[in-house]
Structure 1
Amino acid sequence: MEHIPQSVQPSTLAGISRLAKAIKKQDQITHLAALEIAAQRAGYQNYQHARHALNRDQAPLHGQLVHRIYLSAYWRDSSSKPRQSGLETIRIELPRPLAEFLKRHQIHRARNLEGFFLESKDHLEMRSNLDSQIRARELLQRAALSLQFIEATGLRPATNRLQRKPMDQLDDLPNVDHSSRWISPAGDWVFLDEPYSHATKDQYHSERVDWVASRGLHGAWPNWNGLYYPGNAHPHLTAANQTLLNQVISTVQALPPVIEGDWQQWPWISDGYTSQFISPAREASGNKRKPRAGTTYGWSKNAYQYQTIEGHGSVWKPDQSMTLGNHVAVSDELKRLCQSKLPITAYNKILEVRSELENWLFAEASRAGRDATDAEHDVYYGGESPAGYKTDMDRLAAMDRVRATLTTSYPDCKPRRDLLKSLATARALTQKSATR
């Protein structure tokens, strides 16, 4: 194995990062630990010290050391008179581009980023409307803090069952609240929870310390404002790896303000509700933005758009109605199937069909110019649950009867095909289970 001379002293963040990769490979240590060593060889106290010093001294000369990331959210305040609305956007600057520290599939799993989607490689946009300008700014501020946390610590949100499983025990942590689960590049985990001040009182604090120690874990209250409710909740970190925990604590305690000053006075970019933010990366790509989901009207053969949700799109159903008698007959079959012993994935598909048909029933009443009656409200989820089917043959036959009724009651269209596809999946899973 090649030895790395101690005389190697990088003078840029990119150089520190390259040295860290070599140290990690040679010493078989975590990436965070290697960054600390590389930064110290470069003459800094730690990696955070190097980041701050090099970004401050070199960013004006070498723009590549600072990457701009934009966050935006729409808002509509119906409580004000006249009603107000708008689009809020903020720009933050981090040492790395977004794609280097957060993947598309990880976004909605991260604390404060659950409602965002990747609009372009330098722009995250919240999908749903928020109810006021102040709320939009508040949630964008928290999202900015989360991006800074992820980039600085190297942690990523846990995205699958295997990653989350070791942290399941932390659900029983005394006074646990507002938790989020994180994974290091090496696969070690860090559990962050952010309770209010009562959890830091002597009685509750000692209870937590004892609980953590009894399981061979390590915990700490860093001097840091956290992510959930900065300045009001109290972040607590728990990990099995003491070295990783110490590194994360050191990093978060050294974090500078993501933007200087009171977040309400940040340099917000405020625009009209019907506008769309065009980031530099979007503009440079030459690809125009599509209209915001749920703000345009489409067309589909034999179907109509019965519900529109801005930011999410439109919901469609067949343009004909099914008789109430057929709704009742189908609902009885679906209720009995839900009481049967189905594979869990098949059961979930039946639930999808049941829920969608209730939506269609209510939409059919609305299209007829009236509210759904009490009897209609009870069709799919009211009344007593009938007994489930006892044999696989009976379950499969019930699904076939549901399919036949839907096929004869609704015209061929995409919403009907989608519903029948869910039903077909449930049938295939049930049949597969029966042949084992």
Structure 2
Amino acid sequence: MSTHDLRPTTIIGIKSLARDIHKSDGIPHGNALDKAAAQAGYSNFTHARRALVSNAASSAVPIPLAAIFVTMRWRDSETKASGYETVRVALNKTLDDMIKPSQYRHDRWLGYFKRWAGDHLVSDRIAASIDNARRTACGAARTLQFMCATGLLPSSSDKTRPAGYGDTRIPGRDHASTWYDPHSKTYIALDEPYSAAVKDRQEARRAWSTQHNWDVVKASWAGMYNPDGGCEMYLMSDRVKGYPVRSVEDALARIAAPIVVASCDLLTLPDGKRFESPGEIGQRTARKVPAAERKPRAGNSSVPYSMILSGRGRRPDRRMSIGGHSAVGALLKKVIAGSYGRAGVKKRIESVRSELDDWVQIEYDDKELPSSQFFELYYRDPPALPEGEKGAAGKESNLQRLAEAKAVLLKEYPDCAPLRHLVGKIDAAAKSLQLWKA
């Protein structure tokens, strides 16, 4: 079925079809959105968005609210008082439905926090006062409100101004941030200046919008940066390549006012104790395993070592036979010689070789392993390989060598963390080999 036969019935479906049309017809993303909306029976994308959002809002089944908690610790250096402040946020999405922990750092407020449980964010920083702790927690709560309503994610990309030479920032820009739609893979910028700072610059901002072909809309929602301190929020995006600002404004117009200190749902426990969320308590309970069902912990099976050049480390507490070292060394040297142009293989296997070279030095003294034999194990005289065993053409041969080396290591050494770490490098090298295309 071609893209011209599809008739989407949702906004997500229209956006998905638009991406396909953009690629197949080579037209701008904005035109592709209008074309996809026309196939769905609407005059353009704006018409489709308003109709579908309106229908969804009027027919949607209410979703039970989920409570998410945001906790920050504080300590006053003058009074020596300390404690925790927790703000409760009522949303219709869970924390993990909205954002991954690795993405917190891209937001000015969430960057202070870590995922403590599925319903709890806790900061590992200490605020200088109780007021500062509450303001920071409320800032993160507002970010959660915004993400829940719009489905957007914070981004570190510099998409807050048009491309071009010189200063292309909108006049009066302040507290800007970039947001990303994972479905359409497009961006929208937020500008949150103080209202007094842009009061006399609105005409210049409109001229900027016309010059760069960007939409700039003042949101009815007061924003995330400092809504109770005089800031306003403007939604901005490229009219052709950006995420539509009106859809964000429509979503924000239907949610509660931004959470601020004066009106937040605050939880403070006596005696400076930290609040524990239901998810955190359930998580802790689930980890408790009856003693009769606990598996015996595996022995450490490793010992520390120290070398002048390599530094400190750990190795298996049992040595591998000299024959084992010789076999593994020969295999690794061939893999390095055969995959010289593949850094993902070469660097990892050189690291494995170097570590095994350290281990064998400690495992055997000069009497058991003469220097002439020792130097032959992992270094000296790289083997000559036929052309069919080099590069991408020889990856099957080298994959077999890695498998054989791994088997020897697992057979001769006891299971322990240092060995697992070493084998992990071999597995990673094998994966890089498998992806190597001629």
Return the TM-score normalized by structure 2: 0.51
The C-alpha deviation readout for 1:143-192, integer Å capped at 9, x for no partner, is 1111110121111111357x679679886321111111111221211111
The verdict on how the C-alpha distance between 1:281 and 1:226 changes in structure 2, with shifts beyond 3 A counting, is: same
Which runs of structure 2 are paired with 1:87-98 in the superposition (5 Å)?
87-98=84-95
The C-alpha deviation readout for 1:12-70, integer Å capped at 9, x for no partner, is xxxxxxx65555556665999999969956xx73656666xx43xxx5xxxxx322211
Take 1:197 and 1:116, find their aligned partners in 2: how far apart are those partners?
A: 29
Secondary structure of the structure 1 residue equivalent to 2:265: coil
CA RMSD of aligned residues (A): 3.8
Number of the residue aligned with 2:186 = 188
The verdict on how the C-alpha distance between 1:214 and 1:164 changes in structure 2, with shifts beyond 3 A counting, is: closer
Take 1:114 and 1:241, find their aligned partners in 2: how far apart are those partners?
A: 30
Number of the residue aligned with 1:246 = 246
Query: In the alignment, residue 159 of structure 1 is paired with which amino acid?
Result: S
Verify the 8 A CA contact 1:85 1:273 in the aligned structure 2: no
Secondary structure of the structure 2 residue equivalent to 1:127: strand
The C-alpha deviation readout for 1:289-347, integer Å capped at 9, x for no partner, is 9xxxxxxxxxxx9xxxxxxxxxxxxxxxxxxxxxxxxxxxxxxxxxxxxxxxxxxxxxx
The verdict on how the C-alpha distance between 1:147 and 1:50 changes in structure 2, with shifts beyond 3 A counting, is: farther
Query: In the alignment, residue 265 of structure 2 is paired with which amino acid?
Result: P
Number of the residue aligned with 2:393 = none
Number of the residue aligned with 2:76 = 77
Q: Does 1:233 align with 2:226?
A: no
Take 1:113 and 1:252, find their aligned partners in 2: how far apart are those partners?
A: 19
Query: In the alignment, residue 69 of structure 2 is paired with which amino acid?
Result: Y
The verdict on how the C-alpha distance between 1:171 and 1:117 changes in structure 2, with shifts beyond 3 A counting, is: farther
Query: In the alignment, residue 85 of structure 1 is paired with which amino acid?
Result: S
Verify the 8 A CA contact 2:175 2:193 in the aligned structure 1: yes
Query: In the alignment, residue 72 of structure 1 is paired with which amino acid?
Result: T
Which runs of structure 2 are paired with 1:241-280 in the superposition (5 Å)?
241=239, 244-257=244-257, 263-271=261-269, 275-280=273-278
Q: CA deviation at 1:137?
A: 1.5
Verify the 8 A CA contact 1:75 1:87 in the aligned structure 2: yes
Query: In the alignment, residue 244 of structure 1 is paired with which amino acid?
Result: P
Verify the 8 A CA contact 1:37 1:46 in the aligned structure 2: no
Query: In the alignment, residue 67 of structure 1 is paired with which amino acid?
Result: A
Secondary structure of the structure 2 residue equivalent to 1:124: strand
Number of the residue aligned with 2:102 = 105
Q: Does 1:66 align with 2:65?
A: yes
Take 1:151 and 1:34, find their aligned partners in 2: how far apart are those partners?
A: 23
Take 1:208 and 1:128, find their aligned partners in 2: how far apart are those partners?
A: 38
The C-alpha deviation readout for 1:191-246, integer Å capped at 9, x for no partner, is 111111234324x1111111222112121212221110014111122101377111
Take 1:94 and 1:35, find their aligned partners in 2: how far apart are those partners?
A: 27
Which runs of structure 2 are paired with 1:368-383 in the superposition (5 Å)?
none
Secondary structure of the structure 1 residue equivalent to 2:125: coil
The verdict on how the C-alpha distance between 1:95 and 1:241 changes in structure 2, with shifts beyond 3 A counting, is: farther
The verdict on how the C-alpha distance between 1:209 and 1:255 changes in structure 2, with shifts beyond 3 A counting, is: same
Pick the structure with greater CA Rg.
Answer: 2
The verdict on how the C-alpha distance between 1:149 and 1:143 changes in structure 2, with shifts beyond 3 A counting, is: same
Q: CA deviation at 1:134?
A: 2.0
Return the TM-score normalized by structure 1: 0.51
Gaps of 5+ in 1: 7-18, 60-64, 290-300, 302-436
Query: In the alignment, residue 76 of structure 1 is paired with which amino acid?
Result: R
Take 1:223 and 1:241, find their aligned partners in 2: how far apart are those partners?
A: 20
Number of the residue aligned with 1:176 = 173
Take 1:213 and 1:35, find their aligned partners in 2: how far apart are those partners?
A: 19
Secondary structure of the structure 1 residue equivalent to 2:148: helix
Q: Does 1:208 align with 2:205?
A: yes
Take 1:126 and 1:68, find their aligned partners in 2: how far apart are those partners?
A: 18
Take 1:151 and 1:23, find their aligned partners in 2: how far apart are those partners?
A: 21
